[in-house]
Structure 1
Amino acid sequence: MIDYWDPLPTARRLVESFNEPAEELFTGRWEQRNWRNVPGPFYAGETDSLAIGRLDAANHICYDDDLGGGFGSEFIYRQPANERETEAVIHGCRLELYRGYNWDGNDHWTTETVRGWWRDRSRVRQWAVAIAADWGADTHPHWGYNADPRYLGHYHDAAQGHRDFVAYLDDGLEAYLRGYLFWLEQQRQPRPGEALPHL
């Protein structure tokens, strides 16, 4: 198992194949990032509320409920760990109408802020458990016009993403973040058997 894999070389090669400059694709601002984004190079700042990023990157993108009963913004709940996953994340970012994602998280995260995010993980876990239960239900009388049954499948898919996020928080994210801490400190991937920093 690789504790941290740097997705940016693959991401840059992929973006170079588009007819769209990277600075136009990635315009999200660090100061506006969603607090639910897990540490790593990719994150969502202010995004639209169309909630379609999971169409390409269901294993990486979730939606929040900051607009009440309806979808709010997107965020990265799992960073890519191989070329296939990186491609999925890039395509998920491209679906976002306002281009609110960015890939410059490595310029902002520090060992202290990563550890701080991890210490506060119970906040995001409690939120994800609650929203998964709400959006996973079959009726939503408290949602008003957003309770239209035509949207039920979309909400159920979003709830699955929240459940996947909780599972990752419980098993997998800690190992990734320890590898990411190593990368932030050493600017390279850890070698097999090399000691990793503690969270």
Structure 2
Amino acid sequence: MTYWDPIPAVRAAEAGPLPAPDGGTWVPDPEHAVFWNPRPDRWSERDWRNVPGPFYGAGTDTCWMGRLIAPDNVLYDDDWGAEFVYRQPRNPEETLAVLGAAAQDPMVGYARDGDGHWTPELVRGWWGDRARVREWAAALDRKWSVSSRSGEREAAGGARAYVAHIDGDLAGYLRGYLFWLEEHRPARPGGALPVL
């Protein structure tokens, strides 16, 4: 799998507009957009469930807005409802969706500087502990899929998607990401990728 770098799409989106929870769009105030003014302490506060990659949630709000904009990428924890990135963006549309989710966060809890923090050893360590993340997501699905709250039932679908991602294409993505971290470029199609 070839790694797709979403950061150029972030730069292209700086002028907005970004997706909004109501299905429309809006232009965020650059003074408050975490992707242009990231807080330097976010990495140490990141949620352990974030998939390795450039984007992550750390101390986000609990308003449950992220999945309204980025359901293919964002999920909520079951402690406080904080948001984290369970699938890194795979194209410009998903990147815009993650940006839109992040821009809704009044706690400025999202960041895009993961490439500067993840190392091959940390990525392999996360992958080695994936059973913990998978079990958490499977338990969340079991719990929320029968909830009386419609938001929890919807988020259960995200938990199922996370389990499917772990069981499916996540290993290929992470191998491509390891190559990106080591070589600072995507692998050529059919090229050898590092092992997890």
Q: What TM-score do you get using the length of structure 2 for normalisation?
A: 0.88
**Structure 1 residue 97: deviation in Å?**
2.0
Q: 1:159 aligned to 152, 156, 160, which one?
A: 156
State yes or no: 1:94 paired with 2:103: yes
Q: 1:51 aligned to 64, 74, 77, which one?
A: 64
Listed as ranges, the matches of 1:97-176 within 5 Å are 97-138=106-147, 149=148, 152-176=149-173
Secondary structure at 1:25 match in 2: coil
**Aligned in 2, Cα 1:58/1:38: closer, same or farther, shift over 3 Å?**
same
Q: 1:33 aligned to 46, 63, 74, which one?
A: 46
Does the 8 Å CA contact 1:15/1:22 hold for their aligned counterparts? Answer: no
Q: What is the alpha-carbon distance in structure 2 between the residues aligned to residue 113 and residue 16 of structure 1?
A: 33
For residues 128-178 of structure 1, give each alpha carbon's deviation from its aligned partner in whole angstroms, at most 9, with x where no partner exists. Answer: 11111001114xxxxxxxxxx4xx210101111001000000001000000
Q: What is the alpha-carbon distance in structure 1 between the residues aligned to residue 94 and residue 33 of structure 2?
A: 22
Secondary structure at 2:49 match in 1: coil
Secondary structure at 1:166 match in 2: helix
Q: What do you get for the CA RMSD once the two structures are aligned?
A: 1.5
Q: What is the alpha-carbon distance in structure 1 between the residues aligned to residue 168 and residue 191 of structure 2?
A: 21
Q: 1:84 aligned to 75, 79, 93, which one?
A: 93
Across the two proteins, how many residue pairs are aligned to each other? 182
Secondary structure at 2:53 match in 1: coil
Q: Percent identity?
A: 49
User: Which runs of 5 or more structure 2 residues have no equivalent in the other structure?
Assistant: 17-26
Which structure has the larger Rg?
A: 1
Secondary structure at 2:13 match in 1: helix
State yes or no: 1:12 paired with 2:25: no
Q: Which structure carries more helix by proportion? A: 1
Q: What is the alpha-carbon distance in structure 2 between the residues aligned to residue 89 and residue 121 of structure 1?
A: 23
Q: What is the alpha-carbon distance in structure 2 between the residues aligned to residue 132 and residue 36 of structure 1?
A: 15
Q: What is the alpha-carbon distance in structure 2 between the residues aligned to residue 5 and residue 16 of structure 1?
A: 22
Q: What is the alpha-carbon distance in structure 2 between the residues aligned to residue 172 and residue 22 of structure 1?
A: 36
Q: What TM-score do you get using the length of structure 1 for normalisation?
A: 0.87
Does the 8 Å CA contact 1:63/1:158 hold for their aligned counterparts? Answer: yes
